Amino acid sequence: MFDNLKKKINIFESKVKEKTQEKASEEKEDKEKTQEQKQEQEQEQERASLGQKAKKFVTERKVFLDEDDVEPYLEELKLSLLKSDVALEVSEKIVEKLESNLVGEEIKWRENSEKYVKKAFKEALIDVFPSEFNFFDFIEEKDKPINILFVGTNGVGKTTTIAKISKALEEKGYSSVLANGDTFRAGAIQQLDKHGENIDKKVIKHEKGGDPAAVIYDAVEYSEANNVDVVLGDTAGRMHTDVNLMDQIKKIKRVTKPDLIVFVDEAVAGSDAVERAKEFDEAVDVDAVILSKIDADVKGGAAISISHTIEKPIIFVGTGQGYEDIKEFNTDWFVGQILE
């Protein structure tokens, strides 16, 4: 996971570490020369104490990095982030925060400078993510039934993700019903039916060509009548450039009044996923994001960029093909995966 990005970050950390050690050595030489000159001028009786002072200096010596020390490496890092599909605005913010964390800060010579740089990098990455959103706390506190609408483009694992969320809800003690709002494709009805059969969940559906808003509305009414906690509403995959289908999703929102709108895309889609997230957010005001296939993502750019770009939290990531292969997103965990 994120192998390409890890390599680039490790290169940056190594270069800054080398620069820190190089600067520490230079400062040591300068101090030793000054010390020699001072010793020549001092009286004989003071020389014994100077040895102790020099020893203390070596033990406590500190290094300060300035802009010239790190600027070349930061520029290289920004290019590396861009190549890993991190959006320009986000790359610049990371580099700016990292520079702020490194420049002018003292690094004790006896400390592990690589650990220091890694800590600065962790803070810079965490800083680009918005506040976290606890999905299950939301489910616990919200009046039932809770209507959750899933939106996104074609083929990104949206329907499978819905089944995974239903399974995760069941494990937490919440009931759910699946609503097939994808009336555009005949295959979509069979697909959600199959998932419902596999995880033993009821699927509310209409015929192909029906009104998707009516399907989800019926699912909400069914849930109210049968004390079901959560409605998970699937919608037809659509490109953000398809005006008619984007108007349709706006209608679904207007009619069904979802409590949560979740944008689903692939982590491996990189910058394309970021652009799609922006368009869907502008159309229906997305509340949260789920990224599928994060286990296959070697770059990490989409996950870093989407949350910051649309200022909405990632709540889950897909980690495999099984229904249990979904993980609540945690910023510390994610950053730890990159910096491990």
Could you read off the pLDDT of 208-233 as tens digits, one per residue? Answer: 778 899 999 999 999 999 999 999 99
Whether 285 shows a pLDDT value over 90: the answer reads yes
Instruction: Quote the tokens at residue 30.
Output: 């300068």
Give the model's pLDDT for residue 213: 93
Confidence band for 29, pLDDT divided at 50, 70 and 90: low
Least confident of 104-108, 240-244, 315-319: 104-108
Cis peptide before 145 (omega within 30 of 0): yes
pTM for this structure? Answer: 0.83
Instruction: Please enumerate, by residue number, every residue annotated as part of a binding site for GTP.
Output: 152-159, 234-238, 292-295
Instruction: Quote the tokens at residue 246.
Output: 């984007």
Question: Cβ–Cβ contacts within 10 Å for residue 139, how many?
Answer: 20
What's the rounded mean pLDDT across residues 196-215?
90
What's the rounded mean pLDDT across residues 236-253?
82
Whether 57 shows a pLDDT value over 70: the answer reads no
Confidence band for 61, pLDDT divided at 50, 70 and 90: low
Whether 40 shows a pLDDT value over 60: the answer reads no
Give the model's pLDDT for residue 62: 66
- What is the DSSP secondary structure assignment for residue 46, as one 8-state letter? G
Give the model's pLDDT for residue 36: 52
Structural domains in the chain, sorted by start: 3-126 (1.20.120.140), 135-330 (3.40.50.300)
Residue with tokens 């296939």: 293
Task: Report which listed range, 84-88, 184-188, 196-200, is most confident.
Answer: 196-200
Give the model's pLDDT for residue 58: 41
Share of the chain above pLDDT 70, in %: 82
Whether 53 shows a pLDDT value over 50: the answer reads no
Instruction: Quote the tokens at residue 46.
Output: 């003071």
- Cα torsion 255, 258, 259, 263: sign: negative
Residues 6+ apart with CB under 8 A from 128: 90, 93, 94, 97, 304, 307, 308
Instruction: Please enumerate, by residue number, every residue annotated as part of a binding site.
Output: 152-159, 234-238, 292-295
Residue 95 · residue 78 · CB < 8 Å: yes
Strand pairing category for 288-292 and 230-235:
unpaired
User: For residue 180, which of 145, 222, 243, 139 has the smallest C-alpha distance?
Assistant: 222
